[in-house]
Chain A
Amino acid sequence: MPQLLLELFSEEIPARMQAQAARDLERMARDKLAAEGFLPEALKTFAGPRRLTLVAEGVPVAQADRHEEVKGPKVGAPEQALEGFLRKNGLAREQLIERDGVYFAHLHRHGRATPQIVAEIVESIVRTFPWPKSMVSGTSKLRWVRPLKRILCVFDREVVPFEIEGIRSGDVTEGHRFMGSGQPFQARDFDEYQDGLARTFVVLDAEERKERIMDAARTLCFARNFELVEDEGLLDEVAGLAEWPTPVMGDMDPAFLDLPPEVIRTSMRVHQRYFAVRDPATGFLVPHFVTVANIEAKDGGATIAKGNAKVLSARLNDARFFWNEDLSKTLESRLEKLKGVTFHAKLGTMFDRVERITALARDLAPFVRPDGITTQKAEQAARLAKADLVSGMVGEFPELQGIMGGYYAEKEGLDPEVVDAIRLHYRPQGPSDAVPVSSVAATVALADKLDTLVSFFNIGEKPTGSKDPFALRRSALGVIRILLQTRTRLPLRKFASDDLLAFFADRLKVLLREQGQRHDLVDAVFALGDDDLVRIVSRVDHLDRFLATEDGKNLLAGYKRAVNILRAEEKKGPLPAGEPTDMAGAPPEESGLINAVGHAEIELGKALDREDFEAAMRELAALRASVDAFFDKVLVNSDVSAERDNRLRLLVKVRDAMGRVADFSQVTG
């Protein structure tokens, strides 16, 4: 079946937007084709520096004829409604059919020729494409990410004719800006298109461009016994900056190797988009870099390497200037300057924040590790943790915050634990980032995040839906991970409002769900009012395991049965108060359950007091047989009201005893 090929050729598309643009093009084309009744056998899109391309295989030459019945107004509806319906569908009144008091119309739509539909679809895609930022140019009204130059659109080897804001569709495109022949070429199908691009030095597929870069870069390194420092984000970007990506290795003045490796790498990556190179034996950087050019230069890249090296030297000279300047001042002496840095209009300056974090660190430290020395070091680290924000280097490379502070603290000869805490206190910054576990670093990291959370919750800046501008979810997750990993028993309620506590519960659920655990159990445990995350998670763990056993499942069923009965009774009036008694003549299963629950109550209490959830679950398990037997043999709703009341009291006691472990009514399934 015929093929559709579309290329939107423009000036250079920002690298960071290309992958999403390919996805958007695919989604829009699929949806719009489907809306016209087309389901291509295959549809693929590509994005590169100058082009978005779509190829769809197996699109029929015309739409199938469509028959459909459309429901109209009711018989007797106002005249305008009927006229509107007829006008909308291009019908006359005698074509309507009356059924069950409603007008229906039978529409027969002749399938239209595919090119006509494609022309409409392309126009609608071009005019509504969701670029993050778009622009107009010259006198054109057309919005695109950068000026749109050509549209190649062929279906079944024929040009699909249309014109959008003066751009006429055709079967012509062009290759590499410099290495191509400079002459546009014709392509009537995807094979011709790909051949043409290959001939004119364009790699269409982003994945192929990445492979080409990695292969060549590794080879360059390998030849000199080096190793490329791989960087996924950088690779994505440089693959979007060149149509014929060609790695070139350049040299760096070895004197710069005395700068911290993070500084060299960041300067290379952020300013220059270079890959760093290291010695595979030691892991240390070597004085070289790999840049990814867009041409295979006629001198083999010597000029490019030399030019890039010169630029890098200038950059690293700047970095060295900052490094030396920064080292001439202590972190302590920078605090004054934080008073001039606004953290948030409603939350004061960065200095105010430092004071809050310091106070928090002092309060938190005893929970992390109850010795005076941890508190003292945590306070010192918290006080200095933000000082690097006003250093020259962090001004230049904000992503080095914390890391630079650590270096400066080290050079000042501060205590190693304090140095570590300054360096690591932003962690964990993502789900895969490591958690600081030493007590001083963990304390400061907790204080940093708790201050963020408490402060923004205080001014009503809570995340809503997809909006979380202050990354509060990440902060909450960080707090949870640090507490759990360091097994810090923190009464969160002392630090967090009810709102914030609920927010933590939500984040904990998300975390447990990601770890493949049941998250309904978090609600069941949180409902008890506990605010110690370590205890909560331990309880959830044990509960989860218990509910997976036969005893657990049956006991839960029994619990639900008991609660249902109690709920139904509660509707009629208050439940009978007091303790159940072992009544004369009661069935043995009733007496048995009274004994069992009485025993369980005492033992559960003891187990929970020592936080021995294993034992608590054992007590619950022991209860199961008695509960089952009771429901099996005993009718709660006895005709004798004394019997019924006694049995209801018994069920209340079972519910309450179990309720000390978790709110089982929140457990699903």
Chain B
Amino acid sequence: MTDKPLTFQGLILKLHEYWSQQGCVILQPYDVEVGAGTLNPATVLRALGPKPWRVAYVQPSRRPADGRYGENPNRLHQHHQYQIILKPNPENLQELYLGSLKAIGIDPMLHDIRFVEDDWENPTVGAWGLGWEVWCDGMEITQYTYFQQVGGLDVSPVAGELTIGLERLSLYLQDKDSVYDLQFNDDFTYGDVFLANEQQFSAFELDVADVATFKRQFEDMERMVPEILNSRGRQGQQLVLPAYDHVLKASHLFNIMDARGAIAVAERQSYIGRIRDLCKKCAEAYVAQQTEAA
């Protein structure tokens, strides 16, 4: 590790610089609420179809159920994932990844880096893959996955996905116990930037949000996805991208209802299934579009 550890934004900038050198598009965060970087269309949709793709981006990820009113040192209603997609995954993806660790100051001759089996799946988007959790001194710092299916469809070529929890990695690099004590840059802490958000959104999502409204909105989204897919754009194409936005909105609305404790155990699977079906429709339309274009 370097003498002065990277700040939170320093870490992001280093990763941007490194992955930019690997030919990645450095994308800005997607502007619809998502629960994980994977859900960003730059991953879920771009992983489908035959076209190559390389991207890296930070994705603020909202997990309403994890909100702790800003009172827990590492549980957040919104954390930040650094997401990298290389499609097709190059043969040396592991080496590229280890190179990124060196770039942010993790020396593999000083730290114990290991690849521990972890098969990733995300049932709401019908996606799964094989890979590992990457451990650094016993801490999971990265989810490393070779996608096999997305939206219930086999993928070819295969994309390699790297997901890094930025707060957790930063806690490690800065040797801090609370996210709020992280240096965001030299002058501001993470708490300066995000504590108020955590306090207010936790209260809203856990205690205040009106379930009836969210339920109604969920049903609206569910109805709109096929309607949007049935419409055509000026060039005669299906409007897959806007349709998928509405899947994301449905997913986030579900997460809030879940955080409010409004989803019974028996209903859960059914909600997840409904979102997956919507996602599958978009995935199929997207693949058809890509294959046509190619």
* Chain A residues within CB distance 8 Å of chain B: 11-12, 14-16, 49, 133-139, 145-147, 149, 177-179, 241-242, 248, 272-274, 291, 293-295, 297-299, 303-304, 306-308, 310-312, 314, 340-342
Is B157 a contact partner of A138 (Cβ separation < 8 A)?
Answer: yes
A178 adjacent to B109 (CB under 8 Å): yes
> Are the CB atoms of B139 and A137 closer together than 8 Å?
no
Evaluate contact between B138 and A307: CB separation under 8 angstroms. yes
Q: Considering only CB atoms, which chain A residue lies closest to B154 in the complex?
A: A136
Task: Please measure, in the bound complex, the distance between the C-alpha atom of A14 and the C-alpha atom of B117, giving whole angstroms.
Answer: 5
A16/B117 in contact, CB under 8 A: yes
Whether B114 lies near A241 (C-beta < 8 A) is yes
CA distance A340 to B172 in the complex (A): 39
Interface residue B110 (Cβ < 8 Å from any Cβ of A): yes
Q: B5-13, B21-29, B83-91: which one contacts chain A?
A: B83-91
> Which residue of the partner chain, among B74, B112, B115, B146, contacts A137 with CB atoms under 8 Å?
B146
Interface string of B76-118 (1 = CB under 8 A from A): 0000000000001111001000100000000011111111110
Which residues of chain B come closer than 8 Å to A342, judged between CB atoms?
Answer: 265-266
CB atoms of B265 and A293 under 8 A apart = no
Which chain B residues lie closer than 8 Å to A314 at the CB level? 74
B119 within 8 A of A: yes
Q: Closest residue of chain A to B95, judged by CB?
A: A177
10 closest Cβ contacts across the A-B interface?
A: A307-B137, A14-B117, A12-B115, A293-B112, A308-B138, A138-B88, A135-B130, A311-B138, A139-B157, A311-B139
User: B89 CB to closest chain A CB, in angstroms?
Assistant: 5
Quick check: is B189 within 8 A (CB to CB) of the other chain? no
- Complex Cα distance, B158 from A311, in Å, reads 33
Q: Can you spell out 6 A-B residue pairs with CB atoms less than 8 angstroms apart? A: A14-B117, A133-B119, A135-B158, A274-B138, A294-B114, A308-B137
Residues of A within 8 A of B158 (CB): 135-139
Q: How far apart sit A179 and B88, CA to CA, in the bound complex (Å)? A: 29
B89 touches A137 (CB 8 A): yes
A307-B148 in contact (CB<8A): no
Say how far B150's CB is from chain A's closest CB, in angstroms: 14
A304: B residues at CB distance < 8 A:
110-112, 137
CB closest residue in chain B, given A136: B158
Residues of A within 8 A of B119 (CB): 133
Which residues from chain A contact B74 at a C-beta distance below 8 Å?
314
Question: Which residue in A135, A248, A308 is a CB contact (below 8 Å) of B148?
Answer: A135
B60 within 8 A of A: no
Which residues from A are CB-within-8-Å of B89? 137-138
Residues of A within 8 A of B111 (CB): 297, 303-304, 307
Not counting A135-B158, A138-B90, A294-B112, a sample of 5 additional A-B residue pairs whose C-beta atoms are within 8 angstroms of each other reads: A16-B117, A135-B146, A138-B91, A177-B108, A307-B172
B129 at the interface (CB under 8 A from A): yes
Q: A11-B94, A135-B146, A138-B90 are in contact. Are A295 and B109 (CB under 8 A)?
A: yes
Q: A135-B148, A340-B265, A342-B266 are in contact. Are A11 and B137 (CB under 8 A)?
A: no
- Interface residue B156 (Cβ < 8 Å from any Cβ of A): yes
A127 to B292, CA, bound (A): 32
Q: Could you tell me if A146 and B130 are in contact, using CB atoms closer than 8 angstroms?
A: yes
Interface assignment of B193: CB less than 8 Å from any CB of chain A: no
Measured between beta carbons, the chain B residues less than 8 angstroms from A273 are 116
Residue B272 CB within 8 A of the other chain: no
A307 B264 Cβ-Cβ under 8 A = no
**B136 on interface, CB distance cutoff 8 Å:** yes
B132 interface residue (CB < 8 Å to A): yes
CB <8 Å contact, B265 and A341: yes
A298 and B117 contact, Cβ closer than 8 Å, known pairs A137-B146, A147-B91, A307-B139? no
Instruction: Report yes or no: A303 in contact with B130, Cβ–Cβ below 8 A.
Output: no
Complex Cα distance A297/B156, Å? 40
| Interchain nearest-CB distance for A486 vs B (Å) | 38
- Name the residue among B89, B90, B108, B114 with the largest chain A CB count within 10 angstroms: B114
CB distance from B71 to the nearest CB of A (A): 12
Q: Which residues of A contact B108 (CB under 8 A)?
A: 177-178, 295
Closest to A337 in B: B265
Q: What separation, in Å, do the CA atoms of A295 and B107 have in the docked complex? A: 12
Chain B residues near A297 (CB-CB < 8 A) = 109-112
Q: Which residue of B112, B139, B156 contacts A295 across the interface (Cβ within 8 Å)?
A: B112
Q: Are A136 and B156 in contact (CB under 8 A)?
A: yes
With a cutoff of 8 Å between Cβ atoms, the chain A residues found around residue B130 in the complex are 133-135, 145-146
Known pairs A138-B88, A138-B90, A311-B138; A298 contacts B114 (CB<8 A): no
Enumerate chain A residues within 8 angstroms of B138, measured Cβ to Cβ. 272, 274, 291, 307-308, 311-312
In Å, the complex CA distance between A303 and B173 comes to 12
* A466 vs chain B, min Cβ distance (A): 24
Q: Closest Cβ of chain A: how far from B109's Cβ, in Å?
A: 5
Residues B134-165 near A (CB distance < 8 A): 136-139, 146, 148, 156-158, 160
Q: Is the CB of A149 within 8 A of B112?
A: no
Cβ contact within 8 Å between B88 and A139: yes
Residues of A contacting B91 with CB < 8 Å? Answer: 138, 147, 149
Once the chains are docked, how many angstroms separate the CA of A489 from the CA of B119? 49
When C-beta atoms are compared, the residue in chain A nearest to B109 turns out to be: A298
Contact residues in B for A145 (Cβ distance below 8 Å): 130
Interface residues of B in 248-292 (CB under 8 A from A): 264-266
- Chain A nearest CB: distance from B161 CB in Å? 12
CA distance A12 to B94 in the complex (A): 10
From known contacts A133-B130, A136-B156, A307-B172, infer whether A15 and B117 are also in contact, taking CB-CB under 8 Å: yes
Q: How far is the CA of A554 from the CA of B116 in the complex (A)?
A: 65
- Across-interface contacts of A310 in B (CB, < 8 A): 137, 139, 172
B88 shortest CB reach to chain A, Å: 4
Task: Specify which of B74, B110, B146, B264 lies most central, judged by the most chain A CB atoms within 10 Å of its CB.
Answer: B110
